[in-house]
Amino acid sequence: MKTKVLGSSLATLREWSVSKGKKPFIANQLLDWMFKKGESDLTKMTNLSLEVRTLMQEELDMGTLELVREQESRDGETTKFLWKLPDDKLVESVLIRSGDRRTVCVSSQVGCPARCAFCASGRQGLIRNLEPHEIIAQVYQIDLWLKKKNEAVSHIVYMGMGEPFRNYESVVASIRYFIDPNFLGLSQRRITVSTVGVVEGIERFTQEGLKVNLVLSLHAPNQKLRTKIIPYAREYALETILDAMWRYADVSGRDITFEYTLLKGINDGIEQAEELARLLKGKQCTVNLIPYNPVEGLRLEKPHHTSVEEFRQVLDRAKVINTCRYTKGDDIAAACGQLAMQELKNVV
Ligand code: SAH
């Protein structure tokens, strides 16, 4: 199999050069073109000799993905990218522009094993894990796309399709790549991993020595309601998940965020707000409330504006810091939880 450029360390690429009887420095030149000059086309890397370019073309695989479709929301704040993988599977990423921020929401799997009741991504279950370079390519190619407009990716969130901690090795490899100064060199605090609560994943992640942001998709203040909304939640007691999250906060020094998708009549009542306030009172954390984004075919409803406000007031009174994320990109089905294979199949 050809060596993949995206996802390979500088050392690996330098060893490859030497194994082909070339100077190791050509690997630095290659990466300089790809990441500093924003050029991924080998034929345009003019300070490499024709012989080296031909060798690279024949023996290396860039690891980039085929862009099938690119779709911009009406307000121009969100762009959805649809990629075709080498085995013809499809995956999506979303670019969100907000002020100076250029955030890429990446997918870590095709499909998802979590099967949250409100989310389109898990409706077919898990199809397959993404390889490290398939996660990296989503960000790299959007960064190249932005560079043409003199912009660059500033933040990455692992909130696209898939459960990051059920594809642990590839996700961690991609994070290490994104923060490496040889590649994107992003600051760790600009990277956020969102998990449904895979305890062994959270515990292992705590040992990595990384300081990225960690988010738990909570969606309910107790185990009983949580398992109704997230079938996967049966795997672990909520208490055990929360203990693992607090330990990550201690070790990494990063504050924890909880995502709570508000579903009308299910988890958006005063009773749930009060229970959530009791659960998190006095803890260093933020609750990010996300009103449900309608997914076709699901019999769930958006919460009333007033119940969202009342929910927030309960949290405010208990001094539980909270934010409310209003939808971006829902007109192109690029909002949270709207990335779905089913829908994609009809597109291409
Ligand atoms: N598997 C990971 C990463 C996926 S991102 C996780 O569960 O955290 C998941 C986030 O998208 C959830 O926290 C949820 O808040 C949000 N989400 C998914 N579907 C949604 C929908 N239909 N409406 C609003 N938010 C949704």
Note whether 28 and 73 are same-domain residues.
Answer: no
CB contact at 8 A, 80 and 332: yes
Residues 72 and 45 in one domain: no
Same domain, 239 and 266: yes
pLDDT at 340: 66
Q: What is the CATH number of the domain that holds 342?
A: 3.20.20.70
Specify the higher pLDDT residue, 346 or 203: 203
The protein residue whose alpha carbon is closest to atom 4 in ligand 1 is 159
What is the average pLDDT score of the chain? 94
145 plus 25 within the same structural domain: no
Query: What distance in Å separates the CA atoms of residue 230 and residue 175, rounded to the nearest whole number?
Result: 26
Query: In terms of domains, do 94 and 211 share one?
Result: yes
d(CA 334, CA 145): 18
- Choose one of 61, 86, 104: the last residue of a domain: 61
Among 92, 109, 118, residue to substitute to test ligand 1 (most atoms within 8 Å of Cβ): 118
> 36 C-alpha to center of ligand 1: Å?
33
pTM summary value:
0.95
Please determine, for residue 187, whether its predicted confidence score (pLDDT) is greater than 60: yes
Confidence band for 200, pLDDT divided at 50, 70 and 90 = very high
Residues 31 and 144 in one domain: no
Which amino acid would we find at residue 129? Answer: N
For 122-170, the pLDDT digits (tens) are: 788 999 999 999 999 999 999 999 999 999 999 999 999 999 999 999 9
148 in the same domain as 38:
no
User: Residue whose CA is closest, atom 14 of ligand 1?
Assistant: 261
Q: Is the pLDDT of residue 348 over 60?
A: no
Please give the pLDDT value at position 343. Answer: 52
User: Which atom of ligand 1 is the closest one to the Cα of 119?
Assistant: 19
Task: Find the residues whose C-beta lies inside 6 A of ligand 1.
Answer: 112, 114, 118-119, 159, 163, 194-196, 217, 259, 261, 290, 292-293, 295, 336-337
Q: What's the pLDDT tens digit per position in 243-300?
A: 999 999 999 999 999 999 999 999 999 999 999 999 999 999 999 999 999 988 899 9
H-helix or E-strand containing 228?
helix 223-229
Catalytic residues: 92, 336
The answer to whether the CB of 12 falls within 8 A of the CB of 19 is: no
Residues 170 and 199 placed together within one structural domain of the fold: yes
Q: What is the mean pLDDT of residues 16-45?
A: 96
Same domain, 53 and 126: no
- Do 256 and 122 fall within a single domain? yes
Tell me: the pLDDT tens digits for 57-66?
Answer: 999 999 999 9
Distance CA 106, CA 252 (A): 22
Tell me the CATH number at 33.
1.10.150.530
Q: Do residue 223 and residue 157 come from a single domain?
A: yes
- Joined together, the tokens standing for residue 166 give 């059920």
40 plus 71 within the same structural domain = no
Q: How many domains does the chain have?
A: 2
Q: pLDDT, tens digit, for every residue of 301-324?
A: 999 999 999 999 999 999 999 999
**Of the residues 61, 79, 111, the one at which a domain ends:** 61
Task: Select from 124, 130, 111 the least CA-distant residue to 7.
Answer: 130
Q: Give the Cβ contact number of residue 211 at 10 Å.
A: 15
- Cα of 17 vs centre of ligand 1, distance in Å, is 43
Q: What does the CA dihedral 69, 80, 217, 116 come to, rounded to 10 degrees?
A: -40
Q: Which domain holds residue 34?
A: 3-61
Mean pLDDT of 34-50: 94
102 in Cβ contact with 151 (< 8 Å): yes
